[in-house]
Structures are given as C-alpha cells and as structure tokens.
Amino acid sequence: MRTVLNYLTNTRGRKRLHFTDWLTYLYLLMGTAMMFGPVIWLVMSSFKPQSEILRFPPRFLPYRQETVIVEGYDTPLQLFDVVLEDGTTRRLAQVRRVGIEAQLIDPANPEEIFRVNIADRTPVESVYFGLENYQEGVESFNFWTYLRNSVVVTIAATVVTLLVNSMAAFALSKYQFRGRDTILFVTIATLMVPLSVILVPVFLVISEVGWTNNLLGVIIPGAATPTGVFLLRQYMLTIPDELLDSARIDGASEWRIYLQIILPLARPALAVLTIFSVMWRWNDFLWPLVVLSRSELFTLQVGLNSFQGELNIQWNYILAMTVLTLLPITVVFAFLQRYITTGIATTGMK
Amino acid sequence: MASIPPTAARKKIKRSVSSPADVLRLVGQFFEAVYQVFVNIIDFLMHPLQNRLGVRGMAYVFVLPNLLIFGVFILLPMLLNFYYAFTGSTNLYPADRPFVGLENLSRLFSCGNFLDPNTCEVDVFWRAVSNTGGYVIFQVTTMILMSLISALALNRKLAGQGFFRSVFFYPVLLSPVVVALIWKWILQQDGLLNALVVSLGQERVGFLLSPQWAQFWVVVISVWAQMGFYTLILLAGLQAIPSELYEAASIDGASQTQSFWRITLPLLMPTMFVVIVLSLIRAVQVFDQVFALTGGGPGTATTYMVQYIYDVGLASQTNQYGIASAASLVMAFFLLLLTAVQLRLGRNSEIT
C-alpha cells in the first residue's frame, strides 16, 4: 500500500502533489469509470440467466439460484430459505407452486411436504458466471458463419490494402512521372469524401461488377484507401534515393527494389497501416450492409445488427454475442495499445 | 562468423535448437528464405515488362492496381452520382434513366419555409437536415470541450498517464453496432439507468422512446465513442509545445492560469482547428451508430442525412435513386466546403 501510494504521489520534477493534481486524478478516475463502466456492465450482464436479465432493478454480479437433485424428481429443484410457521428458517427445495402457495420439501427427507406462502421464502442464490448464453447464442446466432466471414474479409482486405497501397506509395514517392501530381491531388482530395455520400452509384457499380452478395464486394472496393497511400508515401519519402540508385547499379530490377529494399524499410509504417486496416475492416458496417443481403454472407457487425432488429429482442444472447464481437479488438488493443495510440497521435487518422 | 572457433560454433548450434527464441529465429529464417524465392519468381516474371517499359514506365505498373480500384469504386461512383441526380425514374441501370435536369434538386428544395420541414415537399429530407444540424452543433461542441479537458488532464505529468490515455481511447476501437448495443442495454426500460432513476424516486423514462431523450443520448453516446480519438490528437498538440516557454513564463512570475490562456491555448489553436474540422466532417456523416441504436426513430427524431439517403435510395422499395443522389450532392457540397477549409488551414499552419 505504501509503495502504491508512493508511486502515485511520485511527481516528475515537482516536490509534492498540488491540489490540482488530486483534482486531475479524480477526473481521470471518473473518466475511467465512464469509459470502462458500460463495457464492464455488458460483460457482467452477458453471464446472467434469462430470469436475471429480466430482473428490475438489475444487480451488478450475475446470480443463479441454487438447485438440488432429489430422488423421485426428474428436474433439479430450486432451493429456498423458508420461514416456517413456528418462526424457524429452513432450507427447502420447491416442488411446485400453485398461485401464492408453494409446496416445498426437505431434500434430506423428501416425504414431508411444506406448504407456505410464496412471500415467506427467499431464493438461495450464489454468484455464477454461466456460459449458457454463449453456448446457446452461438448456435441460434450463426456465430461461426459470421465469424468466418469477418475473418476472411479482415485478413484478405488487409493483405490487399497493404499490397496495392504500398505499390502506389512506392511509385508516388520514388518516381517522377507524368500524371503523378494529379494522382496525388485526387488522392488527397478524396481523403474526405466518404462512402456515405455515394451510396447509390457505389451500389450500382458493385452490382454491375457482379459482386453483390459476394465477399469480394466488401474486400476489394475499400482496399485503395487514400489514407493508407498517404501514410506510406510520407514514410517512404524518408528512405534515401541513393539506396535505390546503388541497387540499380548492381542490376536490381524495380520489382526487386520494391520487394527487398522498400518494403523491409517501410516496416514501421506498414505495421501501423496493418493495425488500422484490421480495425477498419473488423468494425466496418455500412459497406457490408449495402453489399450483402444474404444472411450466410453477413459479417459479425451486420449479423449482430440484424439479430437485434428481430421482433422480440433476446437480450441474453445478444449480450453474449456482443462480448464475443468486441473481444478480438480488445485483445489486440491490450497488446498493441502503445503502438495504436502513438500511431494515431503522429498520423492523425482513423 | 569466420572468427568463431569450430567448437564454439558447434556449441551454439546445439543450444539453438533447445531455446524457444532460437526456434523462432529458425522459423524467421525459413520465412525469409521463402520470401527470397518469392522475390526471385516475381523478379523473373517482371523482367520482360521492365525491359519493354523502362524504369519510368514501371511507376505506372506500381500505381495501377490502386488506381484501378480507386477509379472504379470511388471516382466513377462520384461521377455517376451527378448523373443519377439529374436523371429520373426508378431504374437503377443508367441507360434506362431519362434526363430530367434540375427536377430532383428542385423537388428537394421546394419548400414554403426552409426553417419548417412540414412546408417542404420532401419533408423527411429537411427534417433529416435539421436533425443533422442540431446534432452537429451539440456533438462537436461537447466533444471538443470534453476532449480538451481530457487532453489537459492527461498532459499533466502524473503516474499512470499511459494507462489513462489507453482507457480514454478504448471506446474508439469499438464498432458502431457494439457501441449501440452496449448503450441500448443500459438505456432500455428495465436497464441500469432506469434503475438509477427509480432509486431516486422518479418514474421510469423511455430514453429511446421520447424524441428529445433519443436525440440527447445519440449525442452523448457518440461523444463517448469518439472523444478518445480527438483527445489523443489534442494531447499530441499539447506535447509539441516547448516546455521552455512555461519555464520562462514561471520565471517571469506568470500564474498557471495565465500561462494556460497566454501560452497553451494560442499554441494549441492550429491543432484545435484541425480537430474541429475533422469532427465536423465526421458529425455531418453520422449514421451507423444511430442506425443500430434507434433505427432513426422514434418517428424521424434521429433520422440524419446519410440515413435518409440510405432509406430512400437503397432500403425502401420506392427506388428513388434520383432524390437520394440529389441529397448526396447537397451533403457532398457541405463536406467539400469543410474539406476546403481544412486543406487551407493545413497549408497555412503546416499541420494536417
């Protein structure tokens, strides 16, 4: 405790914590609660059985009513603490409930039946992180199909993006050729023109190419990202031209230069673009929504949205599936958060 | 390598198989060898091409795939959008669409009074426009303010800085659908927030059922989901301010408040402008999160421009492609304006 306190009150340069530092801590801790709270609430809720999901007011931890298996009864019986007429409290198993009267037995002595008012019993509960929502949700939600589609789209699109963007960036940074500046200008100008503005004609083009209801229609169109080209080009400009020239003198072809000099040297920028591309594609919603209409091709995001749009919302499954959908991104972030945050701070893109 | 005596080298080889790090190195070497073969094959295949086109010509080869995808799926649709906006009928195929001139645009703009959507022929569009306007104003101001406060807090030299920075950034990574579902679960009738409301002795509120509440929560949720991104950019801007300035100011007897107003804020302005324009551009396009959260309702309370375009052009059976494209043009005009401002600012301050 002492060391934790020392660590927290350790200032860089200044002598001791000013009251504004405490205010800052307060703000940051409140912010942490605000940012993580909703996600933690989601995760906690996803473990709750249906009865707990419907409970109002809700409780933070997932509870489950204890049950006991008694000989002579097919299903496990729910346990209650019952206040009997003589004022004693006993732990009994409920056999059936008729109106406001409950019939209970002692698991140790199943012959005797107690009849009590339902108000006189309280359920015996324990904290229980149940995986039933996940198991049943995965089946009714078609999870594996959607997951496969999302994985295919994310990986294929990232590979294509890295390839075509790095090739273009190489050409735009290391060659003088006619039309270069025009291409560069158009690239930068469309940096800000989003898909949402050209929905209708994009749909036409994709259907003319024959890619509606085809994962290619999701993978290819977004691969020529202006952001990626721009980011890689800026990085490649810092690679000295002399390296290329001496390689040419040694007889290397342009493709060899691209594959063996440029790509290895641009690794940091490629890593940043990889992280971004994975994030974009995993979370992408509008494009797959427009292109895909057959449910066996849905990605996780589109699938999740159509699942929640169904008539009666089955919250217990939806919560579990939402957790599964945000899990990969969260794991990636936990490991790479430093690269992601510094990558964004330096390139200013998302 | 040659200077290592043979016995030592042998020892090294023996050790290399036993430790996992060296296994990784072997795997790495294997992939490097595979990559070499790959490079040689490509090199062999591409040599005749380079002989024909020359070194300069290869630049076109490199830029071609990107340009092709870009041209077909971004540039061509942008041009087609004009065509759609000036042609009519419910046919998607361009050749089947008769030219109607400005009819779509004039229908969109036929309004008794532009401030009252009910007087317009295409009233939903103008409701979407006014919803978007309200959203943009509230969302951008709230978010910039929150991001600035957070960036200032994160910029103080305190322990755990990296952790807090990551925490504030985390929601940015969540997908729009996930964000919508997380909050829908909290805001629903029997949700966490209503439990809080009831515990304070109030009646339960239909947070997503009343137009005002729905609009309010859409703003709150998008601030929650996006502010981490802008906080990071502002933080980078704050860290770029040289610390000598603060030291000099404190030697001259300036208080912390004074140095905030006289040093921090003015020097942060260029970054601030970039952040404002970026967030404006994004706010105008608000769609997916809200679509998953409310579906545009209740009624049309949270129907914004992109959703209008999506509804009219793609989701409904009426196939009013012309109107949808005309609405796209109107929106593109706003965005272009904002982009022009940004490029100009970028050139002036050399920050983009």
| Distance (Å) of CA A229 to CA A9, A164, A224 | 45, 9, 8
- Two tokens, residue A111: 């012959």
Given an 8 Å threshold on Cβ–Cβ distance, is B173 in contact with A10? no
Domain annotation covers residue A327: no
Domain annotation covers residue B327: yes
Chain centroid to Cα B69, Å, comes to 21
Contacts B175 to A, Cβ<8 Å? 282-285, 301, 325-326, 329
Chain B interface includes A190 (CB < 8 A) = yes
Q: In this structure, are A123 and A182 located in the same domain?
A: no
Q: In this structure, are B31 and B136 located in the same domain?
A: no
CATH code at position B246: 1.10.3720.10
Q: In this structure, are B117 and B60 located in the same domain?
A: no
Domain annotation covers residue B94: no
Q: In this structure, are A113 and A161 located in the same domain?
A: no
Given an 8 Å threshold on Cβ–Cβ distance, is B70 in contact with A180? no
Q: pLDDT digit string (tens) for A302-345?
A: 998 888 876 567 888 889 999 999 998 888 888 887 777 776 66
Q: In this structure, are B179 and B265 located in the same domain?
A: yes
Domain annotation covers residue B227: yes
Binning pLDDT at 50, 70 and 90, where does residue A299 land? very high
Residue B146: its H or E element: helix B123-155
Domain boundary among A75, A92, A127: A127
Q: What is the pLDDT of residue A2?
A: 55
Q: In this structure, are B273 and B161 located in the same domain?
A: yes
- Burial of A185 by CB count in 10 Å (0-12 exposed, 13-18 middle, 19+ buried)? exposed
Kindly report the backbone phi and psi dihedral angles of residue A218, in degrees, each rounded to the nearest multiple of 5, phi listed first: -90, -35
Residue A80 near residue A123, CB atoms below 8 Å: yes
Q: In this structure, are B319 and B268 located in the same domain?
A: yes
Domain annotation covers residue B157: yes
Residue A187 near residue A229, CB atoms below 8 Å: yes
Nearest residue to B77 via CA among A196, A135, A83, A324: A196
State the CB neighbour count (10 A cutoff) for residue A278: 19
Chain A interface includes B173 (CB < 8 A) = yes
Binning pLDDT at 50, 70 and 90, where does residue A259 land? very high
Domain annotation covers residue A337: no
- Which of B169, B185, B255, B272 to mutate to test binding with chain A, by most A CBs within 10 Å of its CB? B185
Count of structural domains within chain A: 3
Q: pLDDT digit string (tens) for A137-166?
A: 888 888 899 999 999 999 999 999 999 999
Count of structural domains within chain B: 2
Q: Alpha-carbon distance B297 to B208, whole Å?
A: 8
Domain annotation covers residue A165: yes
Q: In this structure, are A115 and A152 located in the same domain?
A: no
Q: In this structure, are A245 and A290 located in the same domain?
A: yes
Domain annotation covers residue A188: yes
What's the DSSP call for residue A118? G
Domain annotation covers residue A264: yes
Q: Which residues pair with B120 in a beta bridge?
A: B111
Domain annotation covers residue A324: no
Q: In this structure, are B339 and B207 located in the same domain?
A: yes
- Two tokens, residue B110: 């036929």
State the CB neighbour count (10 A cutoff) for residue B126: 22
Q: Alpha-carbon distance B296 to B311, whole Å?
A: 10
Q: In this structure, are A148 and A193 located in the same domain?
A: yes
Domain annotation covers residue A326: no
Q: In this structure, are B283 and B345 located in the same domain?
A: yes
Q: What is the pLDDT of residue A39?
A: 94
Average pLDDT over residues A205-231: 88
Option in B43, B174, B228 nearest A326 (CB): B174
Domain annotation covers residue B97: no
Q: In this structure, are B187 and B327 located in the same domain?
A: yes
Axis-axis angle for helices A267-283, A226-236 (nearest 10)? 170
Contacts A162 to B, Cβ<8 Å? none
Domain annotation covers residue B289: yes
Q: Alpha-carbon distance B157 to B150, whole Å?
A: 13
Q: Which domain holds residue A115?
A: 63-127
Domain annotation covers residue B329: yes
- Two tokens, residue A131: 């995986």
- Two tokens, residue A99: 């109106």
Chain A interface includes B341 (CB < 8 A) = no
Q: In this structure, are B62 and B143 located in the same domain?
A: no
Domain annotation covers residue B240: yes
Nearest residue to B331 via CA among B155, B132, B175: B132
Contacts A259 to B, Cβ<8 Å? 38-39, 42-43
Residue A116, classed as helix, strand or coil, is: strand
Q: What is the pLDDT of residue B137?
A: 93
What is the number of CB-based contacts under 8 A between chain A and chain B?
A: 303
Binning pLDDT at 50, 70 and 90, where does residue A120 land? confident
Q: In this structure, are B70 and B210 located in the same domain?
A: no
Q: Alpha-carbon distance A223 to B9, whole Å?
A: 47
Chain centroid to Cα A218, Å, comes to 19
Q: Which domain holds residue B295?
A: 104-349
Block mean pLDDT (10 aa), chain B, length 352: 48 57 87 91 87 86 91 88 84 80 81 74 85 93 95 85 88 92 90 89 87 94 93 89 87 85 88 86 88 86 89 80 87 82 64 40
pLDDT over 60 at A113, yes or no: yes
- Which of A35, A183, A191, A234 to mutate to test binding with chain B, by most B CBs within 10 Å of its CB? A35
Q: What is the pLDDT of residue A153?
A: 95
Kindly report the backbone phi and psi dihedral angles of residue B73, in degrees, each rounded to the nearest multiple of 5, phi listed first: -105, -10
Contacts A42 to B, Cβ<8 Å? 181-182, 185
Domain annotation covers residue A168: yes
**ipTM of this model?**
0.83
Q: How far is B245 from chain A (nearest CA, A)?
A: 16
Q: How far is B16 from chain A (nearest CA, A)?
A: 25
Q: In this structure, are B43 and B190 located in the same domain?
A: no
Residue A183: its H or E element: helix A180-189
Q: In this structure, are B122 and B254 located in the same domain?
A: yes
pLDDT over 50 at A198, yes or no: yes
Chain B interface includes A70 (CB < 8 A) = no
